[in-house]
Chains A and B, each alone.
Chain A
């Protein structure tokens, strides 16, 4: 292993922290310097992530690769252990892509952009840390670290909204989001301590614990069953699981653009990832017991999210509910317990992360120009915002599963997996995709095409910065849609190992 290979994973955590630390010492008025450093760090993160992804040996390599371990707290068996498997590798890449796009879009922030970027980089460090940790303590450590900055990011830089019948001040969105996620994360806290004690290994290392699952006397079925349910709710909430999803649309409506991008793009994926990492890998009996429930909830997520999106006419609420709907496919894929379904679930996390970040980039751009997100007021923007429209339409088409874009591959795989196990629920999932087509096309038709209101005559198209951010997101959307092989062959060994653990 080269020097670079040995240290790439820890660099992914330290680099954003270092960026945050450097920013602390730059005077507040130096706004463009702050932007420059931040975007450069974002670019460096994407390059490092790509490097880690490419360095991952999908062909016969070890399950967890690029491993590093540093002693941290011997008395409790905690080590700063890092490593990625086939499921974490695409998530690392996703984080790199969305981080770069997010730091570029965040350059639009005018007020105190120093503090904003510091918090944003802490969030990014937390997300990377969660994806690459092999130690359950650090997994949880970084998971919480990713949540904490959200409160200030939304509460300080967010926007309050007034609707006809109700108000959504930004503090409301921020508080609801943080309190609900932290409350759920405490279930995970209990699960992690429970697993640690029950495994009897005296270690928090995932590989060490996995080796003991099958030993008699460890991880009884009752234990796994209870723990899995807690894992499912704890992580599921962050992934927008019905009926605990309500923080997600409210949070997105309040959040500034780049926070929405990172949140829907990568933070919600921590939920799905956590269910696979802890629920499926460490509690396989629990999954078998609750698979049907997870399947049903996933299907409800798909339909409920889509129907709710249909009823909304605020752009961010539409995208927020569409996220709830799309995360449902992730649950369905996991619950199918098939290789195809799990692959689809992982790919869906990747595809949805990219497309939803793209959505928010454009929606944020529209909001900054028009100060409204109401689709009843926004009409015919296409003639003024050609590029903005193009990007939005492509994200929309990816969202409704048009072949040639990443979303199609992912959903197709999930459906195949679903039909193999629960054909009826699978069919309902397809119905959800059909509703998605309705609300996306209706939204595009109303907002971008049709007759333009005089109000929008002076509207300007995307700034070069927004254009670049959108392009960063657009490329992988097409690439994965047209040629998903590189991603699939990395995911595959990860999924196979998970299935081997499930005994399927």
Chain B
């Protein structure tokens, strides 16, 4: 770890240092490590129906998860939702960022417009789109009816999934746009101009120079977006579909909440939490492994 050459090293100064670092450690201990530990511990126990007694059951909660059709369905729902949202949102953002990276008039207006959804909380984004697709006369519902599509996300599971994908992607466009734009602006313009002088057209330059040089940004965004779709989109699912209809939009995180708080199955919910923790850890390690590599080669 990088260090300062000079620092306060006298033991009498350490009292102050401890006071400085303590608040952060207390908060992380109380609200992060202790609960995470409880979740891990709780995943090995099972409570009776009245919550009166706990029994150590080893890996029983995990075995049940692995055999539960509902849980596997939820994992599938999350996979479809995450993959679609990440691809849609990053794809649109990349197109907009590549276009906005060129010096054009009014660029500032477009940029301001595209960053607006960042300010909108996920459940509010969900409710805005829910209104547009509201089965009784929503603006999009009427357009779709004109095209011969009958829309009702309260009855049709696939349509409910499409609705939350649209809302989640809309919200995330801003974030992806800003990072792609920052990545694009870091690419030396001389490289692109040299290629243009050599006669490389737009697509040649994009695929041969821009996209490869943008890959650290793309990889970073893939990880961050996956984490976003797994967790922060809880608000969209909860406010818009409540996991329905018939579990069609019950993502993993919605299920942790629903089983733990509504179903009061703490053991099962804890086991699900632990599975999600392992997923986040894997993603975070992948990200840092990659970042370190990038730094080493620079």
Task: Tell whether A and B belong to one assembly.
Answer: no
Which residues of B are in contact with A by a Cβ distance under 8 Å? none
